[in-house]
């Protein structure tokens, strides 16, 4: 009971109130419209735009970024930092009403800056990366489409708008994953991403319907103000369904398996979609719905558990992978686990999750683009066992990758330290024994992160050369690719301290302030511990891999085998979802085609003994159709009569 | 002896139907007197003009709310809305029917009576012009459907059912290509349709026994007050519902759908998928909302179970289809399930959202079949899915349009499919039918998979040797396709006007 009270005190019930946008701010719909228009031009003009398409693609997102900055400073000057813009009535049936409306508040503002800022750098990088690809214009078209959908996702003022953006980014990401569609694995990966996301989307859709049923509205303001009137069971249900949606989009347990496979797409796609923006949509959803999640303690515990479990799963599998992009992908899964841990802890930790998300956007984009740069110089090789000693040949990539590496493992004073360590502290601040559980998980995650990221870094850039024969002299990438790398590295270094001091205050109107908490260990002890385990992880990995590694996969113990097999998640999915699905389909097909017919034939054989002759006479299947209709009719009539006579009721 | 009193008839209100029946009779007359060369263009123009005229009258009458012809016909909001929808969708289907640029002589056979495979048959397959009787037949069917949604007593409804069914049975048999399949489909449809009609008629008899009348108003009063055995009533409801659900293609009365959709000439499949669905659900809405609303408590669970079964059967079986027309047939079955969810909301919102869904789905499905008519090789339409592999490389425009159509079927936002599903599910939730909505959401996620499979096949597979090209559509097919795609987009982006229209129309007279 004590726990309830103190948590409730930390989150004062905010009365949510948005004011209409005025003046210059009333044009913030342009943020979405500009990339959307650019996408339309690039995709509709076709080959005519091949020559200058990439310029328009980069330009549109850069203009959006500049606009976003302007709007951001406008917003800072306002008293009520949440402005709303209603464009038109979208759906209006009876009591049900949805606006095509947008909301620009501190939370969406930081996301918009991340999407357009990091997005611009990745767009710029893609100009160089895709230079020799004949489909570059189409690629930029999809890329702009993705950016527009992502902006719609964070700028909507109700859950239906959010869902629109949600489906939009999904659609654009399938197009982008499958962009190199001549590779069968890319097509399969696109399909897998689609299916797993559908599971999550179904949860999200049902959550929206539940909101409408319970509260009669899907607007953020009305839903959040109405949560207090709902029973705790309904809030729990709604939250769990939203969480299912969030886990699907963000690659969290139990829907984590699609994300690493999605790395089949071009590297800038991995950087933009699967590191910096789309996969964080789940975190956005939970942070945005914070009044719902804060209203139920069980719900928060579930979110925390999902986060803690996923961050460990991601780390463990990341240690066992040899493909540079897959290691980074599992590392993304694990880092988003930290963010889920943060949003699940509630209270002030919401803001911590968001700043970790922002910092992660910088250093993970840097890591992915760095990986792309390495692959660019190494004939698209992705196996880290075949790299080594590259620091001599690609100095800029090495330096920027190194800074991002130090940032992700959380060594002070780089950004990861300022954003990850507070989440670990917050985990130790829970009110009961679970503080130990989740705190330890977060610490263990930090150690493992240090281990696998160091392994990746050392095997790629240091130690002996283990290149395949055809590579004699790897080259550094052109400036159009290295400039974004440098800028992202600057972000990885500096952004953490900057954001840790200012962003939580900025977000207070949306997410609530940070209350005072007692951790089970003192703050300093936790800080020292987390730095110690990180150094331990780095040291161990360096000692093990400084001299390179075997070129082939070696036999290993059960734990490593399990990690190599993605902890058997694929096998689990196959057994639990795929097999029964296939069975159900087969059974229905069988019934539809043969079941009834077989029954009729069987009856005929039993009764007359002359079924073969009958069968020859009746070549059509009308009889079996009629039989199935008759069966259905009898059942329907029987059901009516049974209800009427009270047999069923 | 009393003089027979003729009931007063408001001819203005039933003018749209009169116009179309008149046009159809005129078409039969033209068939007899005009020279062969002039028939096709005359028939097409007259039929299209008739539809436009009927639509204009529907619009003029849009505020009419009366019972006329002695209470046999109700002209009210839902009637006029659905009649308008049937006319518009029928018009699109007729554009497909009339196109002769894709195949010399059109998609229809000249003389259906010629033995399949004979020399005469081969001659007519390659050379002769298609039959022109199809135009009056189609107009008869459309007019019958309009009467079906307006019928305010069970006997008028039965007559209308037969009026629109018989021309459809015939039209199904008239495919120029794959005539055996087409004739088989028509025979199946006819036999099973007759079988379903028998159920319907038996149900009418039981309800008459219960209520002592066939008018919906009489039945409505009898449900409240009659002292007759309610077994008659519930048996009657069940059998009437079966007759209507057969036309609506709900499981387990859906069995004819895949075969008939596959075998019928594709323009006729489009007509059935769009207009028959509107007509069947229009009648079902009126029967359930006007006549039997007092028994709603009892029929909702049974029809709900049928809705769930329909959604499941349609969605699951769509997964394994290898023929595009059969795939669309199972998708149409699943959509009947979603429509039933809207019907079972049993509220004004339910009525409005079901009507919206019918229109939205109708436009999209005709556009889908329009694309099917375009993907062809020397032997006619190439409907096997393996033949669609790599279509995106060969014909990006049409593959793109078809992708958009499939996304609309899958209910992706910013298409009419999303709004329509959202509206029916919202209405059902409002009425406390959450279990139907849960099944609806789950099956629509399931159903997205077969659509995606087609998209993946079109864009991500290499074009094979056997991948046909897409024919450049003639003006008529292009017009139908464009109307369908634009409507799907507009209803997805700005659905408010049509939603308002359905909400204003959602009131039956009794």
ipTM of model: 0.86
- Six token digits for residue A400: 């920027």
Token pair, residue A95, equals 């009591």
| Short-list B25, B278, B44, CA closest to B140 | B25
Which chain A residue shows the shortest CA-CA distance from B425?
Answer: A209
Do A181 and B460 count as a contact with CB atoms less than 8 A apart?
yes
Q: What is the pLDDT of residue A649?
A: 45
Chain B contact for A206 (CB, 8 A cutoff): yes
B503, A194: Cβ pair inside 8 Å?
Answer: no
Among A316, A358, A302, A329, which Cα is nearest to A502's?
A358
**Contact A644/B230, CB-based, under 8 Å?**
yes
Chain position carrying tokens 């240690």: A319
Q: How many Å apart are CA A323 and CA A320, to the nearest integer?
A: 10
Distance CA A346, CA A328 (A): 28
**Euclidean distance between the first and the last CA atom of chain A, given in angstroms as a whole number:** 42
Domain locations in chain B? 15-505
Mean pLDDT by 10 residues, chain B (510 residues): 78 93 95 88 94 95 90 93 96 92 80 79 74 92 96 95 95 87 90 93 93 92 86 91 94 88 93 95 95 88 93 86 90 95 92 95 96 86 85 84 92 88 89 88 85 81 76 88 94 89 90
Are B412 and A199 inside 8 Å of each other by CB? no
Asked if B288 and B350 touch (Cβ cutoff 8 Å), the reply is: no
**Res B83: pLDDT:** 96
Which pLDDT does position A141 carry in this prediction? 87
CB of B336 closer than 8 Å to CB of B314: yes
* Distance set, CA A402 to CA A122, A364, A492, B427 (Å): 19, 12, 10, 56
| Residues with pLDDT less than 50, chain A | 1-13, 594-620, 648-649
**CA–CA gap between residue B502 and residue B77 (Å, rounded):** 8
Residue found under tokens 């006479």:
A617
Q: Smallest Cβ distance to B460: which of A168, A178, A589?
A: A178
Cβ pair B275, B145 in contact under 8 A: yes
The minimal CB distance from B452 to the residues A164, A168, A194 is found for A194
Q: Nearest C-alpha of chain A: how many angstroms from B192?
A: 7
Q: What's the pLDDT score for residue B275?
A: 95
CA–CA distance, B225 with A361 (Å, rounded to integer): 70
Structure-block tokens of residue B3? 């003089």
Report whether B97 contacts B135 (CB < 8 A): yes
Per-residue confidence (pLDDT) for residue A6, from 0 to 100: 37
Burial class (CB in 10 A: 0-12, 13-18, 19+), B70: middle
Which 3 state secondary structure label does DSSP give B465?
coil
Say if residue A160 is exposed, middle or buried (CB neighbours under 10 Å; 0-12, 13-18, 19+).
buried
Contact between A620 and B188 using a beta-carbon 8 Å cutoff: yes
Q: Which residues on chain A are in Cβ contact (under 8 Å) with B420?
A: none
Q: Which of A92, A187, A626 is facing B456, going by the closest CB pair?
A: A187
- The structure tokens 């047999």 sit at A647
How many alpha carbons lie under 13 Å from residue B171 in its C-beta half-sphere? 29
Taking CB atoms and an 8 Å cut-off, how many pairs form between chains A and B?
167
Q: At what angle do helices A622-644 and B230-248 cross, to 10 degrees?
A: 140
Of B419, B452, B496, the CB nearest to A89: B496
- Hunting for tokens 């004949």 — which residue is that? A134
In B, which residues are within 8 Å of A149 by CB distance?
none
Q: Which region holds residue A478: left if phi is over 0, alpha if psi is between -120 and 50, else beta?
A: beta
CB atoms near residue A123 (< 10 Å): 26
Instruction: Report how far Cα A130 is from the mean position of its chain's Cα atoms.
Output: 24
Residue B496, SS3 per DSSP: helix
Contact criterion met (CB < 8 Å) for B449 and A195: yes
Task: Return the axis-axis angle of helices B348-374 and B277-286, rounded to nearest 10°.
Answer: 170
The neighbour count for residue A392, using CB atoms within 10 Å, is: 11
Which distant-in-sequence residues (6+ apart) come within 8 Å of A109 by Cβ? A68, A71, A72, A75
Q: Which of B102, B97, B162 is nearest to B133 (CA)?
A: B97
Q: Are A453 and A367 in contact (CB under 8 A)?
A: no
Given a contact cutoff of 8 angstroms between Cβ atoms, the answer to whether A455 and A541 are in contact is yes
* Tokens encoding B394: 């060969």
CB contact under 8 A, B499 and A91: yes
Distance from CA of A49 to the nearest CA of B (A): 17
The verdict on a CB contact (< 8 Å) between B238 and A633 is yes
- Preferred mutation among B499, B500, B507 to probe A, highest tally of A CBs within 10 A: B499
Sequence-ordered list of residues with C-beta below 8 angstroms from that of B495, at least 6 positions apart, any chain? A90, A91, B356, B416, B419
Residue A619, chain B, CB below 8 Å: the answer is no
- Whether the CB-CB separation of A322 and A265 falls below 8 Å is answered with no
Q: Which of A248, A595, A636, A646 to mutate to test the interface with B (most CBs of B within 10 A)?
A: A636
> Which DSSP category does B482 fall into?
H
Q: Which residue of B has its CA nearest to A201?
A: B445
Burial of B469 (C-beta count, 10 Å sphere; 0-12/13-18/19+): middle
Contacts of B167 (CB under 8 A, 6+ apart): B137, B138, B140, B141, B144
Cα–Cα distances (Å) from B421 to A90, A214, B413, in that order, read 15, 19, 10
Q: What is the pTM of this model?
A: 0.76
Compare CB distances from B441 to A89, A91, A206 and report the shortest one's residue. A206
- Say whether A629 and B255 touch across the interface (CB within 8 A): yes
CA distance A378 to chain B (A): 27
| Contact present, A349 and A342 (Cβ < 8 Å) | yes
Residue A96 φ then ψ, to 5°: -95, 125
Contacts of B135 (CB under 8 A, 6+ apart): B27, B43, B44, B46, B47, B94, B97, B98
Contact B301 A643 (CB under 8 A): yes
Q: Which of B206, B235, B236, B255 to mutate to test the interface with A (most CBs of A within 10 A)?
A: B255
d(CA B503, CA B352): 5
């Amino acid at each position: 009971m004590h726990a309830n009270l103190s948590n409730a005190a930390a989150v004062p019930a905010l009365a949510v109130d948005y004011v209409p946008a005025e003046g210059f701010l009333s044009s913030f719909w342009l943020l979405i419209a500009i990339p959307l228009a650019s996408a339309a031009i690039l995709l509709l003009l076709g080959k005519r735009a091949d020559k200058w398409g990439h310029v328009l693609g980069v330009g549109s997102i850069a203009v959006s970024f500049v606009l976003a900055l302007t709007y951001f400073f406008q917003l800072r000057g306002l008293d009520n930092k949440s402005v709303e813009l209603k464009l038109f009535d979208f759906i209006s049936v009876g009591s049900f009403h949805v606006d095509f409306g947008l909301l620009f508040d501190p939370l969406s503002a930081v996301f918009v800056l991340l999407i357009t800022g990091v997005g611009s750098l990745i767009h710029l990088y893609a100009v160089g990366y895709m230079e020799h690809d004949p489909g570059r214009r189409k690629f930029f078209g999809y890329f702009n489409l993705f950016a527009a959908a992502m902006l719609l996702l964070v700028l909507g003022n109700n859950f239906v708008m959010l869902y629109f953006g949600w489906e939009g980014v999904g659609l654009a990401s399938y197009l982008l994953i499958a962009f190199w569609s001549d590779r069968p694995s890319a097509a399969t990966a696109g399909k897998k991403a689609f299916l797993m996301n559908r599971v999550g989307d179904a949860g999200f859709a049902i959550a929206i319907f539940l909101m409408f049923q319970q509260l009669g509205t899907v607007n953020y303001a009305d839903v959040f103000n109405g949560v207090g009137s709902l029973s705790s069971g309904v809030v729990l249900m709604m939250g769990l369904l939203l969480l299912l949606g969030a886990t699907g989009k963000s690659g969290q347990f139990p829907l984590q398996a699609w994300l690493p496979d999605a790395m089949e797409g071009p590297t800038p796609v991995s950087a933009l979609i699967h590191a910096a923006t789309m996969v964080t949509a789940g975190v956005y959803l939970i942070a945005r719905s914070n009044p719902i999640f804060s209203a139920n303690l069980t719900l928060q515990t579930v979110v925390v558990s999902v986060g803690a479990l996923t961050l460990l799963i991601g780390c463990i599998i990341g240690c066992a992978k040899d493909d540079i992009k897959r290691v980074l992908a599992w590392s993304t899964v694990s880092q988003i686990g930290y963010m889920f841990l943060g949003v699940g802890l509630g209270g002030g930790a919401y803001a911590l999750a968001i700043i970790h998300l922002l910092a992660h956007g910088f250093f993970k984009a840097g890591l992915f683009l760095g990986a792309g740069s390495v692959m660019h110089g190494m004939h698209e090789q992705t196996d880290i066992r075949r790299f080594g000693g590259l620091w001599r040949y690609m100095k800029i990539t090495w330096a920027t990758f190194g800074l991002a590496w130090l940032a992700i493992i959380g060594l002070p004073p780089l950004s990861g330290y300022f954003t990850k360590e507070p989440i670990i502290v917050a985990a130790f601040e829970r009110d009961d024994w679970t503080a130990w559980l989740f705190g330890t998980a977060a610490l263990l995650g930090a150690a493992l992160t240090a281990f696998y990221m160091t392994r990746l870094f050392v095997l790629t850039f240091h130690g002996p050369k283990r290149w395949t024969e055809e590579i004699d002299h790897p080259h550094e990438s052109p400036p159009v690719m290295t400039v974004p790398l440098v800028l992202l590295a600057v972000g990885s270094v500096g952004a953490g301290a900057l954001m840790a001091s200012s962003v939580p205050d900025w977000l207070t109107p949306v997410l609530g302030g940070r209350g005072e908490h007692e951790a089970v260990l003192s703050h300093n002890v936790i800080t020292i511990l987390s730095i110690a385990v990180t150094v331990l992880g780095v040291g161990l990995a360096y000692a093990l891999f400084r001299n390179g590694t075997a070129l082939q996969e070696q036999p290993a113990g059960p734990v490593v085998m399990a990690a190599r097999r993605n902890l058997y998640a694929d096998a689990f999915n196959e057994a639990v979802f795929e097999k029964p699905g296939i069975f159900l389909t087969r059974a229905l097909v069988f019934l539809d085609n043969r079941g009834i017919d077989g029954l009729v034939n069987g009856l005929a054989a039993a009764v007359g003994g002359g079924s073969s002759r009958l069968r020859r006479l009746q070549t059509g299947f009308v009889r079996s159709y009629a039989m199935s209709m008759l069966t259905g009719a009898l059942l329907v009539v029987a059901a009516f009569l049974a209800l009427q006579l009270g047999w069923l009721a | 002896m009393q003089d027979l009193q003729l009931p007063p008839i408001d001819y203005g209100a039933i003018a749209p139907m009169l116009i179309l029946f008149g046009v159809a009779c005129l078409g039969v007359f033209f068939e007899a007197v005009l020279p062969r060369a002039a028939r096709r263009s005359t028939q097409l123009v007259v039929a299209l003009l008739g539809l436009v005229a009927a639509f204009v009258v529907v619009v003029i009458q849009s505020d009419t709310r009366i019972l006329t012809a002695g209470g046999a016909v109700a002209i009210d909001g839902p009637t006029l809305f659905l009649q308008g929808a049937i006319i518009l969708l029928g018009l699109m289907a007729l554009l497909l029917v009339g196109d002769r640029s894709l195949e010399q002589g059109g998609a229809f056979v000249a003389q259906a009576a010629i033995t399949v495979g004979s020399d005469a048959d081969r001659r007519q397959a390659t050379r002769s012009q298609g039959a022109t009787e199809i135009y009056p037949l189609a107009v008869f069917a459309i007019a019958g459907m309009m009467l079906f949604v307006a019928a305010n007593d069970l006997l008028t409804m039965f007559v209308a059912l037969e009026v629109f069914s018989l021309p459809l049975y015939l039209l199904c048999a008239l495919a120029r290509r794959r005539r055996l399949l087409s004739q088989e489909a028509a025979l199946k449809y006819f036999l099973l349709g007759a079988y379903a009609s028998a159920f319907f008629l038996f149900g009418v008899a039981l309800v008459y026994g219960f209520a002592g009348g066939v008018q919906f108003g009489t039945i409505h009063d009898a449900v409240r007050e009659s002292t007759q055995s309610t077994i008659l009533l519930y048996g009657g409801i069940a059998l009437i519902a079966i007759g209507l659900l057969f036309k609506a293609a709900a499981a387990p009365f859906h069995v004819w759908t895949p075969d008939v959709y596959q075998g019928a000439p594709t323009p006729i499949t489009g007509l059935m998928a769009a207009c028959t669905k509107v007509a069947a659900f229009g009648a079902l809405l009126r029967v359930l909302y006007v006549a039997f609303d007092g028994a709603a408590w009892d029929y909702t669970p049974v029809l709900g179970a049928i809705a769930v079964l329909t959604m499941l059967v349609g969605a699951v079986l769509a997964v394994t289809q290898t023929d595009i027309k059969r795939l669309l047939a199972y998708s149409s079955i699943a959509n009947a399930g979603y429509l039933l969810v809207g019907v079972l909301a049993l509220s004004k919102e339910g009525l409005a959202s079901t009507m919206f869904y019918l229109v939205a789905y109708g436009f999209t499905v005709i556009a889908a079949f329009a694309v099917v008519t375009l993907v062809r090789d020397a032997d006619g339409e190439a409907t096997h899915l393996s033949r669609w592999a790599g279509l995106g490389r060969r014909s990006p425009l049409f593959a793109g349009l078809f992708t958009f159509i499939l996304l609309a079927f899958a209910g992706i936002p910013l298409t009419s499919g999303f709004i329509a599903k959202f509206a029916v599910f919202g209405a059902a939730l409002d009425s406390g039918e959450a279990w139907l909505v849960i099944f609806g959401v789950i099956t629509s996620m399931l159903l997205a998979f077969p659509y995606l499979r087609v998209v993946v096949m079109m864009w991500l597979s290499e074009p094979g040797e056997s991948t046909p090209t897409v024919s450049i559509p003639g003006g008529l097919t292009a017009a139908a396709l464009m109307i369908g795609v634009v409507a799907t987009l507009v209803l997805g982006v700005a659905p408010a006007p049509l939603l308002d229209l359905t909400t204003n129309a959602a009131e039956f007279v009794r």
